[in-house]
Amino acid sequence: MRIKLLLLLCLVTLAGSLRAQKLTQTIRGEVTDKNTGITLPVATVVILNTNPIVGTTTDESGKYRFSDISIARVSLKVSFVGYADAVISNLNLTTGRELVVNVLLEELAIPLAEVVVKADAQKERPANRLTLVSARSFTVEETERYAGSRADVDRMAANYAGVLGVDDSRNDIIIRGNSPMGLLWRLEGVDIPNPNHWGAAGTTGGPVCMLDYNLLENSDFITGAFSAEYGNDISGAFDLRMRSGNNEKFEFLGQIGFNGFEFGAEGSIAKRNGSSFLVNYRYSTLGVFDKLGMDLGTVGVPYYQDLSFKVNFPRTSIGSFSIFGLGGKSDIEIWDSRGDTLKDKIDFYGGEGFGLSNDSNMGVVGLNHKYSVNQSTFTKLSVAASAHQFKTDMDSLSNDLTQKYSYYRNNFIENTFYANFSISKKISSKNFIKFGAIAKLLAYSYTDSVYKKNEDLFQILRSDDGKAWLTQPYFNWQYRPNNSLTINAGFTPCIFF
């Protein structure tokens, strides 16, 4: 009897302690000048809607920290003398990962002795200061919160005004009536090939996006009025930025969802210089189920996997460096010859009497270097190499579906070497200029053929291989006569040969 009472007392005590446990997490980050990237010490950072008010100031390195903040959705307000206030709203603070929020503040064109500044919603303002209209910044959380987005930036953007998704099977988007093929993808300042699984030659979308929202930080979606650095563009642009890994402690991620089985890790490399790494791997959910022997009810199962990483060295004697990469591999086979039960299965892409195989591979790796010449001038160099391949094999089948006959072959290969160098200069609080040049070397090979049974050979329909060079110098000037008016001007010629 005494033992039972003792056990009951222990359970009650344990339950009470569990109820009393308070879930908390850390919020930290850095406050910098939007034009020059220099840190802003003694900036005020406040967590809104707290009673009493919870606030702090940045240290000499522009960094701030809140410890033991209760788990919830939070909003931050950041202020600094002579700069416009910024409000970052509705951030999701969870126990699994520290919330790192880096804030960019824009200097007022005309600082006054006494001025009332209204807090501005930071998420609507593009991170690129030279992009003012027909553009908006989107947060990582928005890729989850929009209906039907499936954590995909393309599908999320289809919810914006003037943007329309083509259909539900792919994430191609039509911007103001323009072709989806005119969309530009830019990652970490580098133009990249189509970052979607099964991204066919010349397209900008696909069924599944390789870009994992867990690795992105606030990025820009531009639908018009492009600044000069986006000159080689037609319909729209995604200017995406990867976040840096946690430079103070190790964190790990594991999750299962519609897009795949996902595993990630991040952490510090050397705390003395703030260097960090971030890596994420994902594998097809349906591919795993198929390997386990589960019947998915379709004649073809999509297999895909992708890997993303970023290594950041923010403080070296010659500036900051970061190395980043993105790669993906996907394939699907839809063979009518498998179909003794074909009538009971769903066939989205194949055709009766045919067998189809699609393979797609994409990879990009790049290096960024940023160097501050002085408090008002900095340079940035981005170099990258990318490769993209899309292959299609189609065979016809005999009436009894037992024999395959060669019918059609397609193989597209594109390799690109890319460089972008720019100089940014803040002349005054009213004047800012940015100029530079983009160089791109393209090596390509394309073969399209159909099998001629009578001649027992493949007839080449289209075949071409070669190299091409694109040079794109650009110049941007921004003038702000007052705090309410901003004038952007620029030019960019494109030289292609």
Is 193's pLDDT higher than 90?
yes
Is 148's pLDDT higher than 90?
no
Would you state the pLDDT for residue 278? Answer: 96
In whole angstroms, how far apart are CA 389 and each of 12, 260, 365, 440? 62, 22, 16, 18
Question: For residues 468 and 444, is the Cβ–Cβ distance under 8 A?
Answer: yes
In whole angstroms, how far apart are CA 30 and each of 34, 40, 43, 79, 299? 12, 8, 10, 13, 51
Is 226's pLDDT higher than 50?
yes
Model confidence at 369, pLDDT cuts 50, 70, 90, reads very high
Question: For residues 243 and 215, is the Cβ–Cβ distance under 8 A?
Answer: yes
Model confidence at 398, pLDDT cuts 50, 70, 90, reads low
- Top mean-pLDDT range of 111-120, 149-158, 255-264, 308-317: 308-317
Question: For residues 205 and 164, is the Cβ–Cβ distance under 8 A?
Answer: no
Would you state the pLDDT for residue 175? Answer: 92
Model confidence at 5, pLDDT cuts 50, 70, 90, reads very low
Model confidence at 352, pLDDT cuts 50, 70, 90, reads low
Would you state the pLDDT for residue 30? Answer: 94
Model confidence at 353, pLDDT cuts 50, 70, 90, reads low
pLDDT digits (tens, 9 = 90+) for 13-58: 444 444 445 789 999 999 999 888 889 999 999 999 988 899 999 9
Q: Please give the average per-residue pLDDT across 324-353, as a whole number.
A: 68
Q: Please give the average per-residue pLDDT across 172-191, as a whole number.
A: 92
Is 245's pLDDT higher than 90?
yes
Model confidence at 386, pLDDT cuts 50, 70, 90, reads very high
Q: Please give the average per-residue pLDDT across 144-156, as a whole number.
A: 78
Question: β-strand 72-79 against 86-93: which pairing, if any?
Answer: antiparallel
Q: Is 481 helix (H, G, I), strand (E, B) or coil?
A: strand
Model confidence at 190, pLDDT cuts 50, 70, 90, reads very high
Question: For residues 461 and 449, is the Cβ–Cβ distance under 8 A?
Answer: yes
Q: What is the mean pLDDT of the chain?
A: 85
Calpha distance 411→16 (Å, rounded): 65
Question: For residues 49 and 18, is the Cβ–Cβ distance under 8 A?
Answer: no
Calpha distance 299→333 (Å, rounded): 8
Would you state the pLDDT for residue 413? Answer: 95
Sign of the torsion angle spanned by Cα atoms 129, 131, 134, 139: negative
Question: For residues 98 and 246, is the Cβ–Cβ distance under 8 A?
Answer: yes
User: What Rg, from alpha-carbon coordinates, does the chain have?
Assistant: 26
- Top mean-pLDDT range of 131-135, 255-259, 450-454: 255-259
Q: Please give the average per-residue pLDDT across 264-268, as a whole number.
A: 95
Is 339's pLDDT higher than 70?
no
Would you state the pLDDT for residue 344? Answer: 52
The amino acid at 479: Y
The lowest-confidence range among 73-87, 106-120, 295-309, 325-339 is 106-120
Q: Please give the average per-residue pLDDT across 291-317, as a whole number.
A: 89
Calpha distance 83→351 (Å, rounded): 61
Would you state the pLDDT for residue 152? Answer: 84
Which of 454, 360, 441, 354 lies closest to 405 in space, CA to CA?
354
Is 390's pLDDT higher than 80?
yes
3-state SS track over 281-326: EEECHHHHHHHCCCCCCECCCCEEEEEEEEEEEEEECCEEEEEEEE
Question: For residues 404 and 360, is the Cβ–Cβ distance under 8 A?
Answer: no
pLDDT digits (tens, 9 = 90+) for 105-136: 988 887 655 545 444 445 566 778 788 788 88
pTM of the entire structure?
0.85
Is 100's pLDDT higher than 50?
yes
Percent of the chain clearing pLDDT 70 (strictly above): 87
Is 104's pLDDT higher than 60?
yes
Between 272 and 65, residue with greater pLDDT: 65
Would you state the pLDDT for residue 6? Answer: 46
Would you state the pLDDT for residue 111? Answer: 64
Question: β-strand 216-222 against 236-242: which pairing, if any?
Answer: antiparallel
User: In 176-200, which positions are buried (b, 16+ CB within 10 angstroms) versus exposed (e)?
Assistant: eeeebeebbbbbbbbbbbbbbbbbb
122 backbone dihedrals φ, ψ, rounded to 5°? -65, -30
The neighbour count for residue 333, using CB atoms within 10 Å, is: 17
